[in-house]
Amino acid sequence: MSAVAEVVQTPEESSSSWGLWFRQIGAIMRLELGKNFFSRRSILIYLIAALPLLPLTAFAFVHPDEMDFNTLSKIYALVYHSLILRTVVFFGCAWIFMNLFRGEVVDRSLHYYFLSAVRREVLVVGKYLSGLVTSVVFFTATTVVAMLLLYFPHYYSQSLRYFTEGRGAGQLLAYAGITMLACLGYGAFFLVVGLFIRNPIIPALLLYGWEWLNFLLPPFLKKVSVIHYLNSLSPVPVSSVIKEGPLAVVAEPTPAWISIPSMLLVTLIVLIVAAYRTRHMEIRYGND
């Protein structure tokens, strides 16, 4: 924790100086980013992020039968919503953000932070931002590379025109933006789960089931989920690529001007809850 100690002055300064808080957040982020990218726990993140790229890389070396180039946007939408967003981003965020505090408890190292002259709200923000940067880097890269692997190996000239003159660049940016919002929302949720619940696997699976069964819920309950707002932002309608069956309940997509601020507001509220929890948190390693 030497990097944090370098920017710690006195308790009086730490309680009143915004500049000091920002420097402490930066120091915490640097420490946590090193753990997120280079620790043993990070190996699983690399594997999760690479999961959709393996079949697409194999597809790049296989000459497909006659395929209409215009169908590639729907194929990618199917891959993105069924594999990247609902599986890779979800479980990747669960692993990254749950371990921000729970991993420190398991490693019996959280007390080093708590003994430093750092406000616990500052600690929450620094850790959350480190998890957000990590998840955005990994899963946005997966989103972009997966799309390029689908398009360019077999349709280079058409793809080049599509991404430079057509809708390709806009769709790529839209999917990347959805991934970032997913990291923002899921990250805040899993950070709180890791703080409140000793065994976070069960709530993660419950949320996973809730997100997957979202199409069966009535419209007012659909909006109590992250996936509804993410699907509303999709450049290719989800209903056109994922057949939800006769039991599906149709609900109007939420406009972007509502979806994005809603995600940001909920994330802020969840982070306030996390900060409150850390203010009253006592470390009992023997119970974990």
Q: What are phi and psi of 108, to 5 degrees?
A: 55, 45
DSSP, collapsed to helix, strand or coil, labels residue 198 as coil
Single pTM value for the model: 0.89
166 contacts 157 by C-beta, under 8 angstroms: no
Q: How many Cα atoms occupy the beta-carbon half-sphere of 80 within 13 Å? A: 37
What is the predicted pLDDT for the residue at 17? 75
Report how many helices (DSSP H) and strands (DSSP E) the chain contains, helices first. 15, 0
- Nearest to 21, CA basis, from 7, 6, 3: 7
229 contacts 263 by C-beta, under 8 angstroms: yes
What is the predicted pLDDT for the residue at 155? 86
Rg (the chain; Cα; Å)? 21
User: Which ranges constitute the DSSP H helices of 117-155?
Assistant: 120-151
- Nearest to 253, CA basis, from 228, 271, 278: 228
What is the predicted pLDDT for the residue at 12? 47
What is the predicted pLDDT for the residue at 71? 87
Number of Cβ atoms within 10 Å of the Cβ of 86 = 20
User: 231 lies in which domain range?
Assistant: 2-60+69-287
Q: What's the total number of domains in the chain? A: 1
- Nearest to 133, CA basis, from 32, 236, 7, 214: 32
Q: Could you say which residues of the chain have pLDDT below 70? A: 1-16, 63-66, 243-251, 284-288
Q: Which two tokens stand for residue 20?
A: 């000091």
What is the predicted pLDDT for the residue at 27? 93
What is the predicted pLDDT for the residue at 64? 67
What is the predicted pLDDT for the residue at 239? 76
Burial 260-272 (b: 16+ CB within 10 A, else e): beebeebbeebbe
Number of Cβ atoms within 10 Å of the Cβ of 77 = 20
